[in-house]
Amino acid sequence: MAKQKVGDFYVDSYPTGAVVTETIARTDFNAARTHAITLINIHDEKTGGGKGRPPQELEALKRSALILAITAWESFVEDTVTFELDKKLKGASKATELQSIFNGVAAEWLDPERSPKRHGPDLAKWTGEEWKVRVRESLALTLETFHTPNTENTNRLFKRYLGIQIQDSWSWNAMSAANAQKKLDDLIKLRGRVVHRGKTLHPASAKLPDVKRNTVVDALNLLYSLVSVTESALNVAPSVGTGA
């Protein structure tokens, strides 16, 4: 898969007539990202591309684009882990084939501080194929509280349920993994400030943080690249055929 820059934004690029196979998670991410780009395009049309601070009412477009972009990333992470774990579980004939995943979920299940107290008969829930049900249940519960897709939380999710240190794969061209991680974390923090400040209306409340156009553009391109290198690390990057 190649990419090209259209205006300010990187997009997937394929030969004319190519038949592309990509993950559902990537398709959905690109669709949501396109909506965020549309908001920036509307912002540009309204401001005429001029310099200086745009009218206050147009600030909502940039903030909304930022929030939408990070929501798209969050959904991509959740969907990718769900789909890839499901493939692992379907392909495993016994728990020892996914030992680290099994051990992590079982330890949580047995921990009285994180789960209800267990009794002897409860162990039957791990016999046969039932252990796979317990693993899927664990992921579902974890995703219910997965609302901050920063480096630490995202890596923990991939490590626990897929057995991969995904943050190590986040490098491309001149972007180091450490720099990509910092940029993602800064972006998530900014999203948090925008969302929480957006709920205040009182004149004495702290004002909404400024969101610059370039910040949103950089965010959309960063997240696009993170999706690409994440899928490459999992060997699920888009494949291209001729359809012949």
Classify residue 244: in a domain, yes or no.
no
Cα torsion 160, 164, 170, 176: sign? positive
Classify residue 108: in a domain, yes or no.
yes
* Bridge partner residues of 5 (DSSP): 10
> What's the CA dihedral at 145, 147, 150, 152 to 10 degrees?
-10
Overall domain count for the chain? 1
Answer for the pair 240, 18: CB distance below 8 angstroms, yes or no: yes
Which of these, 154, 156, 220, 146, lies nearest to 187 by C-alpha position? 220
By 3-state DSSP, what share of the chain in percent is helix, strand and coil, each rounded to 5? 65, 5, 30
Classify residue 243: in a domain, yes or no.
no
Q: Is 81 exposed, middle or buried (0-12, 13-18, 19+ CB in 10 A)?
A: buried
DSSP string for residues in 105-158 = HHHHHH-TTTSPPP-GGGGGGGSTTHHHHHHHHHHHHHHHT-----HHHHHHHH
Cα torsion 63, 143, 172, 31: sign? negative
Q: Over 182-227, what HEC string results?
A: HHHHHHHHHHHHHHHHCCCCCCCCCCCCCCCHHHHHHHHHHHHHHH
Q: How far apart are CA 184 and CA 222, in angstroms?
A: 8
Classify residue 55: in a domain, yes or no.
yes
Classify residue 242: in a domain, yes or no.
no
Model confidence at 120, in pLDDT bands (50, 70, 90)? Answer: very low
Answer for the pair 10, 4: CB distance below 8 angstroms, yes or no: yes
Classify residue 138: in a domain, yes or no.
yes
Cα torsion 210, 197, 56, 60: sign? positive
pLDDT (0 to 100) of residue 185: 99
Model confidence at 198, in pLDDT bands (50, 70, 90)? Answer: low
pTM tops 0.85, yes or no? yes
pLDDT (0 to 100) of residue 83: 98
pLDDT (0 to 100) of residue 119: 46
Q: Which domain holds residue 19?
A: 2-237
Classify residue 160: in a domain, yes or no.
yes
Classify residue 186: in a domain, yes or no.
yes
At 15-55, the pLDDT tens digits run: 888 899 999 999 999 999 999 999 999 999 998 866 666 77
Answer for the pair 60, 106: CB distance below 8 angstroms, yes or no: no
Model confidence at 114, in pLDDT bands (50, 70, 90)? Answer: low
For residue 213, give the amino acid letter.
Answer: R
Q: How far apart are CA 56 and CA 210, in angstroms?
A: 10
What is the residue whose two structure tokens read 């630490």?
Answer: 152
At 123-172, the pLDDT tens digits run: 556 767 889 999 999 999 999 999 999 999 999 999 999 999 999 999 99
